[in-house]
Amino acid sequence: MDASAAAAAAAVEVTQPTGESRSGTTLSDLPVEVLTIIARGLLPSGPSTAFPPRGSKASLGRAPARMPSLAYLRHLLVFALVSRACAAAALPVLYSVLLLRRTRQVRILADLFRASRTETHDLLAMRVTDLYLTPYDGLREANDRREDAERWDDNVRTLFDAARQVDNLSLTTMSTGSALQNFLHPRTQARPREVTIHNYSASTPDLHTMDLRPLSEVTHLHLVQFRPTRAMLDFLHGVEGSGAKHEPGTHPLTHLRLSSMGCHTFHGLPEYIETRERAMGREQRAANHATGRVASLPEAKPRERARITDHIHPDPRLSLTGQRQMWAQECLYNLAADADLLPNLRLVQIEVNATSILPMPSQPMERESPTVTLDPPLPTGTASGTAVTNISTGGFGAPFDQYSASAAPGQLATIDFPADVPLNETEANEWAAREREFRAAEERQRTAHRDLFWLQVREGKEALLKLFREARASAGLDSASAPFELRVVLTRPGGWNNAEAQAEFAAAAFSPARRAARGSRVDEHGLLSAPSSDGQLPWAKQSPPPPSSSPPTCWDDEDVFELAATRPWLAVYDGSSDEERAPDRPGWWTGELPRLNASSSSSSSSSSSRSSIAGGGAVLDA
């Protein structure tokens, strides 16, 4: 039974008289609290968006999570049309989650809030807790009017002026749009806990001209192609002059995810960190402390901030991708070096851009196959006038290739000299050895560069994690009292396209924990509750219960090195999707996950500073 049928059945059950005491009872006679519970039951469940999915049959295939069906909107509207009491219970639930996927929808909602500034409209706007803005940031789409795009700035400004209790926000910024500028605006009163910003511009917007106070209470910050610049970090750190109203080291940020970072972000990151640390003198002080020369040092000073070395940049020509790689490494260093100013931070996820799947190894027939062919006949008068049987290699046409030696023409295998003569033991062993050597050389050539890539990612992660721990230790934050985790996670199959962004928004908006938070007070039910003297609704800004029962989201993505240890088969293709080649082709490594025991050839081209490579191979400890 679907949700609408369940609501109809409940209405029928209530309206049927079962005795004299319930005679004449209708659905409208139920308390608004009960009606609101029925309306909330029409909301869908949040999808599971963790990648790769949980379960033994999970794969890294291109199957992104999907947004739940929007049929729940029709069910809520039908329920609201039953009576005024049902409308008073259903409309707040309907307005609580706004998925605005088109520019036209933003204009219609803004016109509704502008039409009449009544108490009802204000209460409905105050009910908006989850807001998703169109990913096109004001661009016209099919069936959009010209006025929809022309009035985009005013419409978005109206939404943020009216929706003052937004708790979960997902928006997109473009060079031609203004959604981010209107959110980070002095007039914005919303202080969401969860914020997702997708950047479709060529560079990160300049935040120095924006008011960052709407980020004062954010606990989960997800940035897609958006670097945390110095302006944002100064605000989160509570630096004087950044516009922050909180004291340094008091921001509530607990989760930070940086998605769609460059695939070469970790290349040379240890050297970059060493350069910045040397410029700040920390490296020498650490060496003196290790050798016991602490007494000769001056009295300890407050920890220097990373901003004093922002001007130090290695030559971009030394990086693989130039300036973009330098910018990414700069923001990672600034974040880690001043981690003591974010004491509540518990998880940092770094999602590098997707790496292509390695080409599959060739089959034996695509390389060469053992055949028995004949050397050209010996000249007349030689010691032996018979041909000599040798092992030769053929191409795709073996054993029907024609061979030649010197000037003499070759000879085709015929019925007199068959090509399927069995090899003796010596010849078979010789061929098997050559085959193993060829396979090993081909596999090294196929995988060496990817093994080296994952080694660089591991070394960069370890250097960054060490910097995080040193900064947190300087503020007395140990791993026991304040646990911290740094993860390198896999990129989404679609690169955070519209479908994946909407599914992630729905996972937060419709999760059981968030729905329980919205209904944890009786005063929240219906349109009958009014704001308190300070303008806040009694149910607003409550701490949600632990999301233990919620479906896993992007914040539950596992580290790639943990996946390599626990589910290595995710990066192994067994040929099961290709029935013709499955029996002949064994499983092969796709390179999408690191290997715990990589080939030793992967480290042969790396620098001598990579001392973590063991003699028998490049070992990536889990």
Residue 385 lies in a domain: yes
What's the confidence (pLDDT) of residue 586?
Answer: 65
Place of tokens 């059981």: 512
What's the confidence (pLDDT) of residue 118?
Answer: 63
What are 593-602's pLDDT values in tens digits?
998 875 444 4
What are 515-551's pLDDT values in tens digits?
565 443 333 445 555 445 455 544 444 444 454 567 8
What's the confidence (pLDDT) of residue 144?
Answer: 75
Residue 470 structure tokens:
């040193």
CA separation for the pair 536, 397 (Å, rounded): 81
**Confidence check: pLDDT of 291 > 90:** no
Residue 381 lies in a domain: yes
**Contact at 8 Å (CB) between 341 and 306?**
no
CA separation for the pair 420, 413 (Å, rounded): 9
**Confidence check: pLDDT of 94 > 50:** yes
**Confidence check: pLDDT of 157 > 50:** yes
CA separation for the pair 207, 478 (Å, rounded): 33
Domain that holds residue 401: 364-422
**Confidence check: pLDDT of 344 > 90:** yes
**Confidence check: pLDDT of 11 > 50:** no
Residue 372 lies in a domain: yes
Residue 444 lies in a domain: no
What's the confidence (pLDDT) of residue 555?
Answer: 93
What's the confidence (pLDDT) of residue 325?
Answer: 84
What are 390-400's pLDDT values in tens digits?
444 444 444 44
Look over the chain and give the mean of its residue pLDDT values, rounded to a whole number. Answer: 75
3-state secondary structure of 166: coil
- Upper half-sphere CA count for residue 589 (Cβ side, 13 Å): 19
Burial group, residue 313, by CB count within 10 angstroms (0-12, 13-18, 19+): middle
Task: Fill in the DSSP letter of residue 614.
Answer: B
**Contact at 8 Å (CB) between 360 and 588?**
yes
What's the confidence (pLDDT) of residue 259?
Answer: 95
Residues in the chain: 622
Percent of the chain residues past pLDDT 70, beyond the cut: 65
Task: Fill in the DSSP letter of residue 617.
Answer: B
Contacts of 602 (CB under 8 A, 6+ apart): 447, 448, 449, 450, 451, 452, 455, 618
Top mean-pLDDT range of 84-93, 341-350, 412-421: 341-350
Q: Which amino acid is at 270?
A: P
- The more confident residue out of 31 and 284 is 31
**Confidence check: pLDDT of 171 > 90:** yes
3-state secondary structure of 283: helix
Average pLDDT over residues 46-69: 77
What are 199-244's pLDDT values in tens digits?
988 788 889 889 999 999 999 999 999 999 999 999 999 887 777 7
pLDDT band at 487 (very low <50, low <70, confident <90, very high): very high
**Contact at 8 Å (CB) between 153 and 138?**
yes
Contacts of 437 (CB under 8 A, 6+ apart): none
What's the confidence (pLDDT) of residue 362?
Answer: 74
Find the radius of gyration of the CA atoms of the chain: 33
**Confidence check: pLDDT of 17 > 50:** no
Residue 451 lies in a domain: no
What's the confidence (pLDDT) of residue 559?
Answer: 96
CA separation for the pair 179, 202 (Å, rounded): 16
| Angle made by CA atoms 599, 274, 337, in degrees to the nearest 5 | 110
Residue 400 lies in a domain: yes
Residue 164 lies in a domain: no
What are 262-275's pLDDT values in tens digits?
888 999 899 989 98
Place of tokens 């001056």: 298
Burial group, residue 189, by CB count within 10 angstroms (0-12, 13-18, 19+): middle
CA separation for the pair 460, 261 (Å, rounded): 14
Instruction: Please give the tally of structural domains in the chain.
Output: 1
CA separation for the pair 606, 77 (Å, rounded): 63
The structure's pTM equals 0.78
**Confidence check: pLDDT of 610 > 50:** no
Whether cis (ω within 30° of 0) applies to the bond prior to 270 is no
Residue 133 structure tokens:
């803005």
Segment among 84-93, 213-222, 581-590 with least mean pLDDT: 581-590
CA separation for the pair 99, 129 (Å, rounded): 11
CA separation for the pair 373, 376 (Å, rounded): 10
CA separation for the pair 141, 81 (Å, rounded): 31
**Confidence check: pLDDT of 378 > 80:** no
Percent of the chain residues past pLDDT 90, beyond the cut: 30
Q: What are phi and psi of 618, to 5 degrees?
A: -85, 105
3-state secondary structure of 316: helix
**Confidence check: pLDDT of 337 > 80:** yes
Whether cis (ω within 30° of 0) applies to the bond prior to 547 is no
Residue 312 lies in a domain: no
Segment among 299-303, 441-445, 515-519, 589-593 with least mean pLDDT: 299-303
CA separation for the pair 212, 224 (Å, rounded): 18
Give residue 281's region: left, alpha or beta (phi > 0; psi -120 to 50). Answer: left
